[in-house]
A = this chain, B = another copy of it.
Amino acid sequence: MKFNFSEEQTDFRNMLRRFLQDRSPTSEVRRIMETEAGYDPEVWRMMAEDLGLTAIHIPEAYGGAGFGVSELAIAAEEAGRALLPSPFFGSTVMAATAIAEAGDDAQKQALLPGISSGGTIAALAAAEPGTGWNADAFAATARPDGDGWRLTGRKSYVLDGMAADLVVAAARLPEGGLGLFSLPADSAGLTREPLQSMDPTRRLAKMDFDGAEAELLGGQDAGGPAWARTLDIAAVCLAGEMVGGAERLREDALEYVSMRMQFGRSIASFQVTKHKAADMLLDVELAKAAAYYAAAAADDDGEDEEQPLSALASLAKATASDTYMQTAIHAVQMHGGIGFTHDNDTQLWFKRAKSSEAFLGTAADHRERMLQHWNA
């Protein structure tokens, strides 16, 4: 699917799109984003039980469906298109991937089936205040205590952190390496608080660890590579989510100008509007090509020697977030004053675009990361 989707993938996408049109139209998004939970448990149940979205890329051995990152990214793209508020990204994309990458067999047996069934919601507490997802700057520490470990430090921007039953946390090991740990969300020594998110459809939390007891996933060498690959896969899926949102904004803006008249003619007939629409199409198509290529690369890693997954994931994240924001700015502008109102849906995607610029690191951060991993 580097350059084309299989029929199965297309069917999966269509099925998902119909489901979301039906179960998560914008009126529902607006209703859910005002609730404390921030997602609809019934929709979440259907996503898990009826559609198997929570199981997509989890290996069959651990209760998953054993599909690839490509399918996961398709789901993220459709969720982004619909602006679905749900713990899908935090639990399925981020936390499950971290466990699958870092955990040993017993840990995966213990933790993944619950996430895969949707019964357990997990969250990945890695980023820290101010410094974000740069692992070199992670300051939270883990110290051994008997058979287990105790974590101390502050985490922030934890996606779906309040909804989570299970937390995967990144902390520095005594030797300086990075460890990934799991602990129940209601553990003693772990306090969490919701953050005020600019985008009310993306729920974030901060977490304070004060000697909270936790289990190290895999060995002491597992955390570093597992985090790197988790960030890659999350960036790829976020790119998918963003191109889904950008395409929706582009289509809606085009529909709006095609329906509206000004000065006795269709707004869509103004050459400047036409050229802007053409540029928007170009931008979104280029960003899609990157998102799809990177997702495919995640599934056949190592095939593109010049550009390993980390380079491609960062390329896709950077270009998708620039495109999403630019598309959102154009979309508001094409709507005119009405596009700036709360009642017009454009603003919902605008805020998601704004939030996505920063989530997992800015485009500039990822361009730098892309070159660090580029082989040439």
User: Which of the candidate stretches A22-30, A172-180, A228-236, A267-275 sits at the interface with the other chain?
Assistant: A267-275
Set of chain B residues within 8 Å of A270, measured between Cβ atoms: 271
* Residue-wise interface mask of A (263-282) relative to B, using a CB-CB cutoff of 8 A (1 in contact, 0 not): 00000001110010000000
- Give the oligomeric copy count: 2
Instruction: Determine the distance from Cα of A270 to Cα of B275 in the docked complex, in whole angstroms.
Output: 12
> A138 to nearest B CB, angstroms?
29
Instruction: Determine the distance from Cα of A271 to Cα of B271 in the docked complex, in whole angstroms.
Output: 6
* Residue-wise interface mask of A (29-54) relative to B, using a CB-CB cutoff of 8 A (1 in contact, 0 not): 00000000000000000000000000
> A333 to nearest B CB, angstroms?
13
Set of chain B residues within 8 Å of A272, measured between Cβ atoms: 271-272, 275
Quick one: closest B residue to A270, CB to CB? B271
Contact-size category for A: under 10
> A368 to nearest B CB, angstroms?
15
> A22 to nearest B CB, angstroms?
41
Set of chain B residues within 8 Å of A275, measured between Cβ atoms: 272
Judged by DSSP, the binding face of A is helix
Quick one: closest B residue to A271, CB to CB? B271
Instruction: Determine the distance from Cα of A272 to Cα of B277 in the docked complex, in whole angstroms.
Output: 13
Instruction: Determine the distance from Cα of A271 to Cα of B272 in the docked complex, in whole angstroms.
Output: 6
* Residue-wise interface mask of A (239-252) relative to B, using a CB-CB cutoff of 8 A (1 in contact, 0 not): 00000000000000
Quick one: closest B residue to A275, CB to CB? B272
Instruction: Determine the distance from Cα of A218 to Cα of B147 in the docked complex, in whole angstroms.
Output: 75
> A269 to nearest B CB, angstroms?
10
Quick one: closest B residue to A273, CB to CB? B271
Instruction: Determine the distance from Cα of A216 to Cα of B272 in the docked complex, in whole angstroms.
Output: 60
> A331 to nearest B CB, angstroms?
19
> A330 to nearest B CB, angstroms?
14
Instruction: Determine the distance from Cα of A263 to Cα of B271 in the docked complex, in whole angstroms.
Output: 14
> A235 to nearest B CB, angstroms?
27
Quick one: closest B residue to A274, CB to CB? B272
Quick one: closest B residue to A272, CB to CB? B271
* Residue-wise interface mask of A (73-114) relative to B, using a CB-CB cutoff of 8 A (1 in contact, 0 not): 000000000000000000000000000000000000000000
Instruction: Determine the distance from Cα of A203 to Cα of B43 in the docked complex, in whole angstroms.
Output: 71
Set of chain B residues within 8 Å of A271, measured between Cβ atoms: 270-272
> Which one of A270, A271, A275 has the greatest number of beta carbons of chain B within 10 Å?
A271
Instruction: Determine the distance from Cα of A275 to Cα of B279 in the docked complex, in whole angstroms.
Output: 15
Instruction: Determine the distance from Cα of A270 to Cα of B274 in the docked complex, in whole angstroms.
Output: 12
* Residue-wise interface mask of A (145-184) relative to B, using a CB-CB cutoff of 8 A (1 in contact, 0 not): 0000000000000000000000000000000000000000
Instruction: Determine the distance from Cα of A365 to Cα of B104 in the docked complex, in whole angstroms.
Output: 50
Instruction: Determine the distance from Cα of A271 to Cα of B270 in the docked complex, in whole angstroms.
Output: 7
Instruction: Determine the distance from Cα of A275 to Cα of B272 in the docked complex, in whole angstroms.
Output: 8
> A318 to nearest B CB, angstroms?
19
> A204 to nearest B CB, angstroms?
32
> A264 to nearest B CB, angstroms?
15
> A14 to nearest B CB, angstroms?
37
Which residue numbers of A lie inside 8 Å of B, CB to CB?
270-272, 275
Residue contacts A-B, CB under 8 angstroms, 5 given: A270-B271, A271-B271, A271-B272, A272-B272, A272-B275
Nearest 5 A/B pairs, CB to CB: A271-B271, A271-B272, A272-B275, A272-B272, A270-B271
